[in-house]
Amino acid sequence: MVTETKDRFVNTKAPIENDGVKRQPHERDESPDGQDQEPRGIMKQAAEDLAQGLKDTDRYGTCGQGLEQAVEPAPDATGQANPQPDRHRSMRDHDSVEPVPGKNR
């Protein structure tokens, strides 16, 4: 029989502290107070792209129903990407440093 010692006990009711550190997917807490306070940069960029009338090319061959019916492009949409200032944050493939304006990396 296993004895419940202090090192085997985890308090799952304790709220997580938002210390501003980015966590790996397996380290994230799913409680409401453990979530980011604002939308991630990649999500803001995706919403802006859809508003500009760009196609969602990351749907992996799903049927034609979905975002096209849910999101109408803005009346003044140009069909061109409008890069957001924080688009590099929280993306899968990005540089670890802040980008230098006017310089490609």
Token digits of residue 48: 């802006």
- pLDDT band at residue 66 using 50, 70 and 90 as cut-offs: low
State how far the Cα of 38 lies from the Cα of 82, in Å rounded to an integer: 20
Question: What percent of the chain clears pLDDT 70, i.e. is strictly above it?
Answer: 43
Q: Is the pLDDT of residue 4 over 80?
A: no
State how far the Cα of 61 lies from the Cα of 71, in Å rounded to an integer: 19
Is the pTM higher than 0.85? no
Q: Give the ranges where the chain is alpha helix by DSSP (H).
A: 41-51, 67-70
pLDDT, residue 35, reads 59
Neighbour tally for 89: CB within 10 Å: 15
Type of residue numbered 90 = S
Q: Is the pLDDT of residue 97 over 60?
A: no
pLDDT, residue 69, reads 61
How far does CA 104 lie from the centroid of its chain? 23
Q: Is the pLDDT of residue 52 over 80?
A: yes
Type of residue numbered 23 = R
